[in-house]
Amino acid sequence: MKSIKSKDWFSLERIQKLDMFQCYPVAIAICQNSKTKKFLGTKLKNIACITKDYTDLCFSTEEWNRVGKKYFQSLQKDFSICQKINKKIFQASKDLDKFSDKIYALKGDLPFGKLIKIYEDFLEHLKELYSAANFYEVLELGQKKYLTELLRSIIASHLDVKDIKKIDEYFPILTASRHPSWIEKERIDFLKLVAKLKSGTKINKDKLLKGHARKYFWIPSLGSFSIWDEKYFKKEIGKFHGNPLEEIENIKKKRGELISQQKNIENKLDLSRKEIDLFHCMQELSYLKDHRRGTQNKAFLVINLVVLQKMTDILGLKKNDINYLTLEEIKNLEGNKKHIEKRKKCWAYIIEDETKEKILEGPKELELFKEIIYIKPPKSKREIKGSVAYKGNIGKIKGVVKIVLGRKDINKIKKDEILVSHITNPDIMEAISKAKVIITDMGGITCHASIIAREMEKPCIIGTRVATETLKDGDLIEVDMNKGTVKILEDGTK
């Protein structure tokens, strides 16, 4: 415990309250993964998943900085390492998705030993995925944004002093994905489905709905294991009153315009072939980050629906109780049942190095982390600053704040209010669609908020570090999209 206290921890990601199953496999994939060290040369050794009122994914600042420097040195030596990493992330995501589809298709009862083996295979797939994905997480999501600084410096080196402000205009365009996100893919397929139904030809509507739901059922699953089923999509069809083919063309047109903008800026800046290749790698990474997170969320949902629920029936546990135990604890259930109720209130899963792990449970033990999680206070209590992920067409925007950390908060926000979150995920898309501005604590060039903001054309500021700590529900704020600043005009408590 002394070694835990001695570390300077910071919260990388804060989201709605999760159970242990949704966190500890990722912790293992990040820190107890020999594949990462073999592939990238070094890896993170410390992690703490802490859950009380919400879930924090925490890391040692010293360890994060050590690994970040090592990874950045590798990148500086050889930019082509990005292509190697992107290829591995894509293949690992593809393999995980195939695995999920195979498991989801299993019918009937399965022996306990088979379920254990599936769980173990799932953990191995995660390790394969994170052996490459960690590279970009460390370089971009901490306090120091290595990739952002490098790419902005490249743009700056091609600009005259009088044009230096154009960095803020060019950077989000040059790093935007050329491929649609999972959300945009679903939207396009949904619109095609609606167009078929409106065509007047004889079509099996139930079959179409079932096929669409089978492909995208997992999208809202993070945190709550919610799904989009046929009933959900049937309801969405009933709410749709536009022209589906026209909307598809508009989406494709915007994608084409983005690619044209990117090519024009590359030519205007006279970027070298090496520099263009690096920006293209970052564009590919933006796509892969969303693709990887999507396949990962789907896999967690499938393991929960198929493996954990079947285990629950075999072991005679209450619904969802098994989600508060590790795989090793499930294997030795009798001695570990006692932990479940305490962990429902709060828990922490900590890996101090490759071999040492500790689980804390109950309010008393979690007091240890009360003062440990590092959140840097803002320099001003009335104004905060971040990076502009998508500028939009309006310089300054006023609106009312709503803090949205997960699905439990999505009904708080009304149309044209300002969504503030630690980090966005697909599970809060319903809230994002209502918001007129998105503001996040975390985020880099590849984050979900950046990708979605561009696709939905919503002004977005990321990486403020302290938005959820500084702003409150009901605050009236002014967002300056030219400067990336957020100013409190009126307190929501008044």
Query: For the segment 452-469, what is each residue's pLDDT rounded down to a tens digit?
Result: 898 899 999 998 888 998
pLDDT surpasses 90 at 369: no
Task: Check whether 489 has a pLDDT greater than 80.
Answer: yes
| Residue at which a domain ends, from 252, 269, 286 | 269
Q: Structure tokens of 121?
A: 């295979």
- Say whether both 91 and 40 belong to one domain: yes
Same domain, 14 and 120: yes
Q: Is pLDDT above 80 for 380?
A: no
- For residues 122 and 227, membership in a common domain is answered with no
Residue 258, domain extent: 182-269
- Range 22-37 average pLDDT: 94
Asked if residue 205 and residue 314 are part of one domain, the reply reads no
pLDDT of residue 133: 93
Total domains present in the chain = 3
Query: Is 359 a domain residue?
Result: yes
Residues 255 and 425: their CA atoms lie apart, in Å, by 22
**Any domain includes 38:** yes
**For range 323-350, the mean pLDDT:** 94
pLDDT in tens, 55-76: 889 998 899 999 999 999 999 9
CA distance 107 to 85: 36
The answer on 229 and 107 residing in a single domain is no
Residue 313 falls inside a structural domain: yes
* Statement to judge: residues 361 and 441 lie in one domain: no
- 257 and 305 together in one domain: no
pLDDT value for 449: 87
- Which of residues 343, 369, 395 is at a domain's end? 369
Point out the domain boundary residue: 335, 369, 403. Answer: 369
Per-residue pLDDT, averaged over 170-196, amounts to 94
* Cβ neighbours around 74 below 10 Å, total: 16
Q: How many CA atoms lie within 13 A of 237 on its CB side?
A: 22
191 and 240 together in one domain: yes
Q: For residue 289, is it within any domain?
A: no
Please indicate, yes or no, if residue 413 is contained in any of the structural domains.
Answer: yes
Q: Check whether 448 has a pLDDT greater than 80.
A: yes
Asked if residue 387 and residue 355 are part of one domain, the reply reads no
For residue 429, what is the domain's CATH number? 3.50.30.10
pTM of the model: 0.91
- Mean pLDDT of the residues in the chain: 91
In a domain, 169, yes or no: no
In tens, the pLDDT along 205-218 reads 999 999 999 999 99
Q: Does pLDDT of 6 surpass 90?
A: no
Residue 194 is assigned to a structural domain of this protein:
yes
Q: What is the average pLDDT across 108-116?
A: 96
In this structure, are 344 and 403 located in the same domain?
Answer: no
Same domain, 223 and 333: no
pLDDT tens digits, 249-286: 999 999 999 999 999 999 999 999 999 999 999 999 88
Would 395 be classed as within a structural domain?
yes
Pair 132, 6 in one domain? yes
